[in-house]
Structure 1
């Protein structure tokens, strides 16, 4: 495969003696900085603890989000029993808001790291997520209330915790960054396997209130993990955001320097299209199984996706570190296969075949996720990891949020999942095709920033 340039130096090269720098996740003036900036250590006890903390953060946050189909079935049944119109789309909206908010606020999370540091941002996010789950346990009969407490409040906390958990890796790893991203993101796969049966057990014996309280207790581990996110010093080429005033903050969010990197811009703009249908199978696959199959393990396909997603994250994370490997091409291949399998899914009438499709979807789902961090750092450098990852995820927020409710509305109108899953599969194929534009960029440095 043709290789893209490795980590971009464009955003890091213009420095001088008085250039402000970042220490412990916060910017400082040059005279205030006593320690010297150094290369990521690629190992050591502290670095391995960072891997563990990021692994648990990813697992706890996305294990809960990816298992929303368990809650969806309960809420949908409740709304149908209450004869509420659009029960399917309203129930789907709660989970879609969680995923959408998590991604939408990722740029804000990136900016907050400049104010508060990676560690404080992650701790704050974990604490907000715990509060959102506790509040959800008291309003389980109010779906509109859950849209706020579980959909938005938990999503805010998840976003503030998730982005630092990826950005911190660039401070400690360079040579093995792809593999480390794979190890960290496998956390969500492992937790997604374990969560559905645990959540069903809690609902069966303790109801939704008991479930949300149990999830809050588990999520309390996120802010504890965030305490470990202490960055190694990284050069930053502009003065601290908190010294720039409101105009500077707005410019940081809307017109950040990373957008001058054309390759990053093209990649980031293609991702929302590719991710429009991403969350649809996670929300609707359990209902699809209930409709089309009987006497089967309805959680098995979702667990298969999670298991092989973990395998894919490790394998493709390892592969991404190899010289000559084109990370963008790997991600394109992943989206093409995910899209194709999603289109095939609603036509499947054999449960073993459905399981095989789920296994395939999981492998390439893992590939796409494991490559997000390395690609962003490749284009923009580790000093801008939080913002480059956050901005891309923020752009993807609305498509991610709209996908499951739109799929529910289409299902209600057509009475089948053929069209919803087909549209969900087309979006990653289109997004992957648009990524070819990054290959036409000349191999040169972007304009000095």
Structure 2
């Protein structure tokens, strides 16, 4: 019994660290924005595309990760992903133009994304009753890393230039390998399961299309903020370090909110009040949109930090709900397809939206449009989710559903 508990603890901690190493740097690329503009003569649209490609390639690597895990096993997939991310970062440090940086960030993001599917697959194998709690703890890894990392990257940029900063990140990506080995210490690395990759019937449902678009809007709303927040703070005259600190404030509350939100939304009722996940998701989306609009009217550092904290609470509350609602709306048997298409949609939206907002930034010479765009996307995701909920005949509160965020 003691050995089992220790192995469970070891598995969660290894996955927690991997999540921080893989996703933390991708969420913390904001300080590079102005570096690319100044050193590579890139426009706002070109610079924002770097982070867009990072997010997009991370999520769109999901189907590839599934295939590699089936063919190579868990450990080899972790190794391939870590080497791809580290190689991309090392070569990127020698890039001489923004196009080369953009191409290489696809390799970085895709390499990091290869670890996501097998990481949560291992968690799914080890846990049953407490799987939801384990998954929430794992996803806190990136939130923890994103607190200090933007500030560290800003410091590295000053001390070693942006090239040195990316080289350091390349070394950090290599740590995926030992944590991947630790994560799979008692799992057969060649074990695989044959699964149906696509349930084609889902593509005939307009509700499924609405759900997929909603997921893309939801994530791209957050992607836009992570990309433009630091530059927004700099444009307000807050200073480079202070602006980088703003990105940290958007992550800190996640450490508290995510497990609480995961527990509460797994319940069917709190007292006499029913917990309907799509309505919770939509209500928080409206609040998040209002926070983003309020950000554009704030000029004092205190007000901006307060809104960053409010935004972080909203993100923490909504973070895992789109995954859980996939099973609510379309059932367990369709999870492979629904979550796969969810990841693809999130990747595509993350690639397209920030550069489009960057074009508006270049045209208006203002960093307010990304916040308006984020608000619109959040509201769109909220509306589409409620529409799907109202249109489906399936119940939206199967408390037994526990799948990775």
Number of equivalent positions? 384
Aligned equivalent of 1:289, options 214, 230, 233? 233
Q: Output the aligned Cα RMSD.
A: 3.1
2:246 pairs, out of 277, 301, 305, with 301
Aligned-partner Cα distance in 2 for 1:276–1:206: 31
- Aligned pair in 2 of structure 1 residues 407, 208: CA closer, same or farther (>3 Å)? same
Is 1:361 matched with 2:311? yes
Deviations 1:40-73 (CA, angstroms, capped at 9, x unpaired): xxx7222222211221121112210111111112
The structure number with the bigger radius of gyration is 1
**TM-score relative to the length of structure 2:** 0.84
Structure 2 spans left out of the alignment, 5+ residues:
270-274, 397-405
SS in 2 for 1:279: helix
Aligned match for 2:161, one of 177, 190, 207: 207
Task: Give the counterpart of 1:418 among 368, 371, 384.
Answer: 368
Secondary structure at the aligned position of 1:315 is classed as helix
Per-residue CA deviation, residues 107-131 of structure 1 (Å, 9 max, x unaligned), is: 2323333333344323321221111
TM-score w.r.t. length of structure 1: 0.76
Give 1:316's match in structure 2, choosing from 246, 257, 261.
261
Q: How does 1:261-280 map to 2 (within 5 A)?
A: 266-280=210-224
Distance in 2 between the 1:121 and 1:378 partners? 30
Deviations 1:136-181 (A, max 9, x none): 1222x322111121x2101110111123223333222333333222
Following the alignment from structure 1 to structure 2, what is the Cα–Cα distance between the partners of residues 258 and 172?
30
1: CA distance, partners of 2:126 / 2:207: 25
In structure 2, what is the Cα distance between the partners aligned to 1:262 and 1:351? 44
The match for 1:227 among 181, 197, 213 is: 181
Correspondence 1:441 to 2:396? no
Aligned twin of 2:37: 76
Report the CA distance between 1:386 and its aligned residue. 6.1
Determine the structure 2 residue equivalent to 1:52.
13
How many Å separate the matches in 2 of 1:326 and 1:171?
28
Q: 1:263: how far off?
A: 7.1
Please report how far the alpha carbon of residue 442 of structure 1 lies from its aligned counterpart in structure 2 after TM superposition. Answer: 1.6
SS at match of 2:160: helix
What displacement does 1:392 show? Answer: 0.9
Gap regions ≥5 residues in structure 1: 1-42, 242-251
- Larger displacement relative to structure 2 (433-442 or 153-162): 433-442
Determine if the alignment matches structure 1 residue 330 to structure 2 residue 293. no
Task: Label 1:358 to 1:439 Cα distance change in 2 as closer, same or farther (>3 A).
Answer: same
CA displacement at 1:187 relative to structure 2: 0.8
Q: Is the 8 A contact 1:170 1:385 kept in 2?
A: no
Residue in 2 aligned with 1:64? 25
CA contact (8 A) 1:110 1:390 kept: no
The 8 Å contact of residues 198 and 337 in structure 2, kept in 1 or not, is answered as no
State yes or no: 1:99 paired with 2:39. no
